[in-house]
Amino acid sequence: MNEAPATLHTGRHFLQIPGPTNVPDRVLRAIDMPTIDHRGPEFARLGLAVIDGCKRVFQTAQPVVIYPSSGTGAWEAAILNTLSPGDRVLMAETGHFATLWRKMAEKLKLGVEFQPGDWRHGADPATIGARLADDRGHAIKAVMVVHNETSTGVTSRIPEIRRAIDQANHPALFLVDTISSLGSIDYRHDEWGVDVTVAGSQKGLMLPPGLGFNAVSDKALAASRANASPRSYWDWQEIIAANRTGYWPYTPATNLLYGLREALAMLEEEGLANVFARHDRHAAATRAAVRAWGMDILCADPREYSSALTAVMMPQGYDADHYRGVVLDRFDMSLGTGLAKLKGTVFRIGHLGHFNDLTLMGTLAGVEMGFDAAGVPYTPGGVIAAMNSLTGRAENL
C-alpha cells in the first residue's frame, strides 16, 4: 500500500515561534568560519569584542559572563554563584518558565516562596514589596523574576519591582530572566538595579541556541565571593579573570562567538532604540490583527503586553494544536504551542529578532488563512488591521 505523499513545500519555512528565532544570513556566514586556536591572539580579540558588545546590549558597565550553554544553564549559574542550599527566595508565578526556574531552585535546595499568578499578569510589584516589608529579619535572600514570560506574552514591570524592593528597604538580590526579551524589549541592567540578568542566544540575539549569559552587579559579585556553594564550570570568578584578556578557562563555543560578534554588530548598526521601537510596532500590529479577528490576547494588562510575542486564546471548543498542525501542513509555518496548562488553548506568534514589516504581514496572512483551513471561527480583516497599524492609517480611520 502506498502511503499518502507528504505535503511538498517550496520557498522558505516560516519559523514564527518565539524562539529559537530566524538566524540572519550574515550571522550564519559568520559562524561558517574556520575554527581558530582559542588560546591564540586572534581569539583574544574576538573575546574582548563580544564581551564589550554584550555590555552595551545589557546596558551595563559590569561584567557579562558568556557560557557555552542554554538559557537553563545560565539560570543555574545565577543561582549557584549567589545562593546556598537553604536560602529563601521569592519568585512569582507568571507562566511556564517561571515555574521551571522555581523547579530548578527547589532541586538546588533553595526554599522557594512562589507567589501565585493566573498566567495572564506579570509579577506584581506591590505584592512583592509587601512581602519584603514583612520580612523584617531579611530571611529572603533574592527576588527572582522572569522579565518576558515566553509562554504567555506577558512582560513584568522590572523598574517597578526594583522600586518596591527599595521601598521595603530590603537587601535581597534581584535576579531577572531576560531570555526572550534581551535585544527585543528595552532592558537596562544597571539603571534598573538588577543584580543578575540571565539571557540566552537564541531569541533577540538572533543566534542558534548554545550561549547563555549572566550580567552581574558588584553586589552579586560580592555575594558570589562570600558564597560557599560548590561550583566549578559555572563559577563567575575564574571566567571573569580569564575574560580580562579575552579568553575563557575552558574551551568556549568559538564559532558561536563569531556569530555573536556579527549579531551584536547588526543590533548596533540599527541602534538599540530603533530595535526596541521596531519590536513595539510589530507587536502593536499583531494585537490589532488579533482584535480584528475577534479573538482575545492572553495578556490581560496592556502595561504588560510583550513586544516579543503575542499569545492568542482560541475560541472555546477549538484546539490550538490542531490549528497549528494545519498551518504547518498547509503553509509551512511554525507557530508556538501552548505550554503546560495552556496546552491546546493558546497559540503564540513570535515577532522578535531578525524581522521586518513584510515578514510580519506574511506571518499574519498565514495565521488568517489557517483559520479558514482549520475551520476556526473568526472575523476576517486582521491582516488589513495590522497593515493599517504599520502604516499609521489606523490612527486616521
Question: pLDDT tens-digit profile of 26-43?
Answer: 999 999 999 999 999 999
Please name each of the domains of the chain with its CATH number: 14-21+271-396 (3.90.1150.10), 25-268 (3.40.640.10)
pLDDT in tens, 145-180: 999 999 999 999 999 999 999 999 999 999 999 999
> CA-based angle 180:23:41, to the nearest 5?
95
DSSP assignment letter at 342: G
**Residue 280, phi then psi, degrees to nearest 5:** -60, -45
pLDDT in tens, 271-324: 999 999 999 999 999 999 999 999 999 999 999 999 999 999 999 999 999 999
pLDDT in tens, 41-100: 999 999 999 999 999 999 999 999 999 999 999 999 999 999 999 999 999 999 999 999
pLDDT category at 393 given cuts 50, 70, 90 is confident
Q: Are strands 14-16 and 333-335 parallel, antiparallel or unpaired?
A: parallel
DSSP assignment letter at 135: -
> In this predicted structure, what is the pLDDT of residue 49?
98
Spatial distance between the Cα atoms of 22 and 143, rounded to a whole number of angstroms: 32
pLDDT in tens, 89-147: 999 999 999 999 999 999 999 999 999 999 999 999 999 999 999 999 999 999 999 99
Query: How many CB atoms lie under 10 A from the CB of residue 182?
Result: 27
